[in-house]
Amino acid sequence: MKKYDVIIVGAGIAGLTAALYAARQKLSTLVISADLGGQLLLTNEIQNFPGFMSISGLELIRKVEEQAKTYGAEILFDEVTSIAEQENLFTVKTASGNEFQAEAVVLAFGKSPKEMGVPGEKELKGRGVSYCVICDAPLYRGKKVVLVGWGLHNYENIVRLRDYASKVYWVFPGEKPLEEEELLNEAMSKGNVELVPFSEPVEVKGDKRVRALVVRNKKTGELKTLEVDGVFVEMGYVTKTDFLKGLVQLNERGEIVVDKMCRTSKPGIFAAGDVSEMPHKQAVIAAGMGACAALSAYAYVMEKRGRKVGQVADWRHVEIPGKRKEGAGLSIKLR
């Protein structure tokens, strides 16, 4: 059974950033993930990640993947099914039958948005079907969109869409999308929001891009086609953390409880990104948590080996194979 210093579960922005930081600390690092990129792959254009005016989710992920691999991180595409502590190490098992051991584990496999489960949705993800209003609303300035979702958390979503789009259809299964009458009136105040009550999505239509969402009235059975440029699905998220029950503390939503150092209730296991209880689900925050989790894991591993470490920083310049030197780097002396 192959042993690593740290195993990272998940290859989204949090997991890959954790891999980058762990590998730069010279920890043998394995990333195990069912896919590459996570939720970022649902976004064709990201405009709020520092350093880039505009970048696709795939491009950003590929850049961080390349960085992590450059410093020695390995990536295995597989699904982790169990993690157990054995003889002061963690044994990680996967769906394909692989088994690995590690001194520390970083959980960064994110969470998955609830999908509508209708024809055309999967095919048009990232091409008009979005699961993040705060990420993608600015891309639909002056266009027609539909929001599928209800509840108080969607108040900010509808206001944001209303302020960008020329027309917003709001699809929900009940009589009202919000119980708070004052908030509902405010959401409707610009006159460009049309409520579509007692309705459920049936099909997303489009070829290369979304062109319509078909909905069904649950009372009458009548089908209605909403011609739109974008479909925003905001029905909440699903955390797949059942296999962690009894190992780390989870909150009522199934998210992993962490402290400010990204430590879980189990010493040696850390968590970062959307799978954690951090309320702000943004790529830059997930990346920062990934870095924090990796440095905390490094401190944990070193202390296990008898080397007490204090505050961990990563300012050192590491020679990158094949990279031409272009002048002197910045030297910072820490007292």
Domain range annotation of the chain = 2-111+239-305, 129-233
- Helix, strand, coil distribution of the chain in percent, nearest 5: 25, 30, 45
For domain 129-233, the question of CATH label 3.50.50.60 is answered with: yes
What average pLDDT does the segment 58-83 reach? 95
Structure confidence at residue 146 (pLDDT): 99
Determine contact, residues 186/170, Cβ cutoff 8 Å.
no
Cβ atoms of 61 and 16 within 8 Å: the answer is yes
pLDDT at residue number 211:
98
Residue range 262-296, pLDDT digits in tens = 999 999 999 999 999 998 889 999 999 999 999 99
Could you tell me if 201 and 149 are in contact, meaning their C-beta atoms sit under 8 angstroms apart? no
Q: Is the pLDDT of residue 316 over 70?
A: no
What are the φ/ψ torsions at residue 89 (nearest 5 degrees)?
-130, 165
2-111+239-305 and 129-233: same fold? yes
Percent of the chain with pLDDT over 70: 93
Q: What's this model's pTM, rounded to 2 decimal places?
A: 0.69
The overall average pLDDT reported for the chain is 91
**C-alpha–C-alpha distance, residues 139 and 296, integer Å:** 37
| H helical segments located in 239-312 | 283-304
- Asked if 284 and 301 count as a contact pair (C-beta separation under 8 A), the reply is no
Sheet of strand 210-217: strand arrangement = 199-206, 210-217, 223-227
Convert the pLDDT of each residue in 213-263 to its tens digit: 999 999 999 999 999 999 999 997 788 899 999 999 999 989 999 999 999
Class at the top of the CATH hierarchy for domain 2-111+239-305: alpha beta
